[in-house]
Structure 1
Amino acid sequence: MKALLAVGFVLAMVFGTAAPAAAQKTRVTIYTALENEQLAPFKQAIEAAVPGVDVAWLRDSTGVITARFLAERERPQADMVMGLAASSLLMFEQANLLEAYTPRGVEALKPAFRDQAVPVTWTGMDAFLGVICFNTVEARKANVAVPATWRDLTVPALRGQIVMPHPASSGTGYLMVAMWLQLMGEEAGWRFMDQLHENVATYTHSGSAPCVQAARGERIAGISLDMRGARERTQGAPIEVVVPAEGTGWDMEAAAIVRGRPQAQTDAARRIMDWVATKGANELYARSYAVVAYPGITSAPANYPANAEARMFANDFGWMASNRTRVLAEWSRRYEAKAAARN
């Protein structure tokens, strides 16, 4: 009994001593679509650069985070969003859900990564592009050539051999659908997707999964992310990472402060936003992305397609945000039958 009391006394002393230090930290809840492996280094970097802040992540795919955030609009639970598609943040901006704040040093960023609205509500971090991960070994077996254009994916030999992200779940999926509709025009864009659908085996709920499946030889082609394609090829997968000649869809990851949160969280979030715009933060982004907001930082990995940045389609983020609900409803009406089961 004495031993138990002694242990209890020691624990009380430990937690009693630690409590004041913990109380000094402000917990900031951040909704994010960053990859799981990015969460720990981002948390470490933020907390080192912004003393007194405790970062708490809530992570899911872009579509899921976007839907959750909008569902919570009357009673927001997030203090910030980070690593979420700019097209989603524009929706939040249009709905007046974001706090106006201009980070220190934001003028140094590339213009495309800066919110052009007044007042500023979001700041860009990095860009991700859509590519085709094409398994050349499996393609030879099926006598299919490496695609040069998007329409090359509609050939009969690829029936059941394409995997693509679901646009309501994955930011990669939505940027591709939005690009086809803008590039081809709505009528031709839907007609193309009807033809593509004939060849699609399933629509995954992850932007990376289609490339992983193609890399493993489970399917011939996966419409996926640029960096995932480069990574899979570097790890030895027999894939070509293709950026079609017409150009490719892209979106940027961005960060913003949520409107209407407690003052302590808002103040801490402003300090984090100052960090978001720094060169040091962009060097961290560059570990995962080839295109970042801060000029002069280049980090294209091995096997990254040389023509990728030059083939980034002239994307209209305002169109993506304004038409998202309508486009996703029509897409689901046409193609939901092949959606993968959710885990």
Structure 2
Amino acid sequence: MKRINLIAFSSLIAIAASATAASADKLTLYCSAQEDWCQLMARSFEDATGIDVNMTRKSSGETFAQVKAESSNPKGDVWWGGTGDPHLQAAEENLTESYMSPMRDQLHDWAISQAEGADNKTIGIYSGALGYGYNTDLLAANNLPEPSCWRDLLKPEYKGHVQMANPNSSGTAYTTLASMVQLFGEEEGFEFMKGLHSNINQYTKSGSAPIKAAGRGENTIGIVFMHDAVKQAVSGFPVKVVAPCEGTGYEIGSMSIISGARNMDEAKKFYDWALSADAQNLALQVNAFQVPSNRGAETSPSAPDMSTIKLIDYDFKTYGSSDERKRLLQRWDEDVSTLPQ
């Protein structure tokens, strides 16, 4: 009997130890950057800390929707990457947690400004300018002129040759919509989006998909962040990158800790690690050509030179707010997406 009790007791200890191990040293990461970068960040953090990472990759619009849907029972711990606007909206709706990282003194001012504008519920991890790229072979094969401005994309000869993401699912596409409104004024900006709609061959779910399709020869012109177009060009595809002549918007890619995170200590460890120069230098291994937020991190010589691009004074606070984002997306749904093509 004593032996049976001892075996049972030992089994209980083993089960308890197993349960403790199962609940500790884990992190659920929601990632909105490119897939290979997301995988590299997850595996590198595991190697650096021994913390197991369960990573899910979705576009920033999709991730925002998921975080909001799960708010009463959060399943994610950290949301890393993707355009800043949905991160700012998540902060405004208290879906993310305020955190002051000890790494802040290593960051560029624009990364800190992103945090301060959101009560420190998000922070900038990289920046990148909006633009487009085109497949030079397809452009020549279709005898199309080389575009250099936003308005060029409205020309009737480009009908069926332009692709962008849906702004409801993609932070890149929402930045495009918000940039046109700020660049041309709201009414003229929506007229631009209507004219562009006539030439669109497909609205994709992911923001980088249009230029990947252009690289493969399945699409001619892709509206994307310029660093995504650079990646295709550097990879050997016949893609030329354009900084539109009128000026353009830009993103501050962001990171947030999800409110009610089950693994809060691990979330803060990832947050601090992801702001380090070493972690941000990992971008170079996967040809991610954004400008990193840590002042000591390396920027690829192939990355777009932000100082030479005509950037608008993008109003992150306004266009990252919940009300404005919802309003613009609703107007796009009603006034643009319903139009015939």
TM-score bucket (shorter structure): 0.7 to 0.9
Q: Measure, in 2, the Cα distance between the counterparts of 1:118 and 1:128.
A: 20
Relative to structure 1, is the Cα distance of residues 255 and 159 closer, same or farther in structure 2, using a 3 angstrom cutoff?
same
Relative to structure 1, is the Cα distance of residues 120 and 188 closer, same or farther in structure 2, using a 3 angstrom cutoff?
same
Name the SS of the counterpart of 2:61 in structure 1: helix
Per the TM alignment, residue 22 of structure 1 is displaced from its structure 2 partner at its CA by 4.2
Q: Which amino acid aligns with 2:320?
A: A
Question: 1:62-108 CA deviation, whole Å, 9 max, x = no partner?
Answer: 11111111122222221221113221111111112222210112122
Q: Which amino acid aligns with 1:31?
A: Y
Q: Is 1:331 matched up with 2:332? A: yes
In the TM superposition, 1:68-107 aligns within 5 A as 68-107=66-105
Q: Which amino acid aligns with 1:35?
A: Q
Relative to structure 1, is the Cα distance of residues 216 and 57 closer, same or farther in structure 2, using a 3 angstrom cutoff?
closer
Question: 1:298-323 CA deviation, whole Å, 9 max, x = no partner?
Answer: 43354x54567633432111122221
Name the SS of the counterpart of 2:137 in structure 1: helix
Per the TM alignment, residue 145 of structure 1 is displaced from its structure 2 partner at its CA by 2.1
Q: Measure, in 2, the Cα distance between the counterparts of 1:275 and 1:121.
A: 17
Q: Measure, in 2, the Cα distance between the counterparts of 1:180 and 1:254.
A: 22
Q: Measure, in 1, the Cα distance between the counterparts of 2:106 and 2:264.
A: 24
Partner of 1:5: none
Partner of 2:264: 266
Per the TM alignment, residue 326 of structure 1 is displaced from its structure 2 partner at its CA by 1.0
Relative to structure 1, is the Cα distance of residues 267 and 186 closer, same or farther in structure 2, using a 3 angstrom cutoff?
same
Q: Which amino acid aligns with 1:63?
A: G
Question: 1:259-280 CA deviation, whole Å, 9 max, x = no partner?
Answer: 2234xx1122122222122121
Q: Which amino acid aligns with 2:319?
A: M
Q: Does the 8 A contact of 1:243 with 1:307 survive in 2?
A: no
Partner of 1:247: 247
Q: Measure, in 2, the Cα distance between the counterparts of 1:143 and 1:154.
A: 16
Q: Is 1:65 matched up with 2:63? A: yes
Question: 1:162-194 CA deviation, whole Å, 9 max, x = no partner?
Answer: 111111111111111111111111011001111
Per the TM alignment, residue 212 of structure 1 is displaced from its structure 2 partner at its CA by 2.0
Partner of 2:315: 316
Partner of 2:29: 30
Q: Measure, in 2, the Cα distance between the counterparts of 1:281 and 1:28.
A: 17
Partner of 2:216: 216
Relative to structure 1, is the Cα distance of residues 234 and 117 closer, same or farther in structure 2, using a 3 angstrom cutoff?
closer
Q: Measure, in 2, the Cα distance between the counterparts of 1:111 and 1:90.
A: 17
Relative to structure 1, is the Cα distance of residues 167 and 309 closer, same or farther in structure 2, using a 3 angstrom cutoff?
farther
Aligned length in residues: 322
Q: Measure, in 2, the Cα distance between the counterparts of 1:23 and 1:75.
A: 19
Per the TM alignment, residue 43 of structure 1 is displaced from its structure 2 partner at its CA by 1.6
Name the SS of the counterpart of 1:96 in structure 2: coil
Which piece of structure 1 moves more, 214-223 or 196-205? Answer: 214-223
Q: Does the 8 A contact of 1:73 with 1:97 survive in 2?
A: yes
Relative to structure 1, is the Cα distance of residues 48 and 170 closer, same or farther in structure 2, using a 3 angstrom cutoff?
same
Question: 1:130-156 CA deviation, whole Å, 9 max, x = no partner?
Answer: 221112232234333221210011111
Q: Does the 8 A contact of 2:83 with 2:253 survive in 1?
A: yes
Q: Does the 8 A contact of 1:168 with 1:174 survive in 2?
A: yes
Partner of 1:277: 275
Q: Measure, in 2, the Cα distance between the counterparts of 1:192 and 1:136.
A: 24
Which piece of structure 1 moves more, 230-239 or 95-104? Answer: 230-239
Name the SS of the counterpart of 1:38 in structure 2: helix
Partner of 2:4: none
Q: Measure, in 2, the Cα distance between the counterparts of 1:285 and 1:230.
A: 14
Q: Does the 8 A contact of 1:202 with 1:338 survive in 2?
A: no
Q: Measure, in 2, the Cα distance between the counterparts of 1:300 and 1:40.
A: 20
Relative to structure 1, is the Cα distance of residues 295 and 138 closer, same or farther in structure 2, using a 3 angstrom cutoff?
same
Among candidates 110, 113, 117, match of residue 112 of structure 1:
110
Per the TM alignment, residue 161 of structure 1 is displaced from its structure 2 partner at its CA by 1.1
Which piece of structure 1 moves more, 81-90 or 40-49? Answer: 40-49
In the TM superposition, 1:195-234 aligns within 5 A as 195-234=195-234
Per the TM alignment, residue 286 of structure 1 is displaced from its structure 2 partner at its CA by 4.6
Relative to structure 1, is the Cα distance of residues 111 and 308 closer, same or farther in structure 2, using a 3 angstrom cutoff?
closer
Per the TM alignment, residue 34 of structure 1 is displaced from its structure 2 partner at its CA by 2.4
Relative to structure 1, is the Cα distance of residues 308 and 161 closer, same or farther in structure 2, using a 3 angstrom cutoff?
farther
Which piece of structure 1 moves more, 110-119 or 308-317? Answer: 308-317
Per the TM alignment, residue 24 of structure 1 is displaced from its structure 2 partner at its CA by 7.7
Name the SS of the counterpart of 1:294 in structure 2: coil
Q: Measure, in 2, the Cα distance between the counterparts of 1:277 and 1:307.
A: 21
In structure 1, runs of 5+ residues without a counterpart are 1-11
Give identity over the alignment, percent.
30
Per the TM alignment, residue 221 of structure 1 is displaced from its structure 2 partner at its CA by 1.1
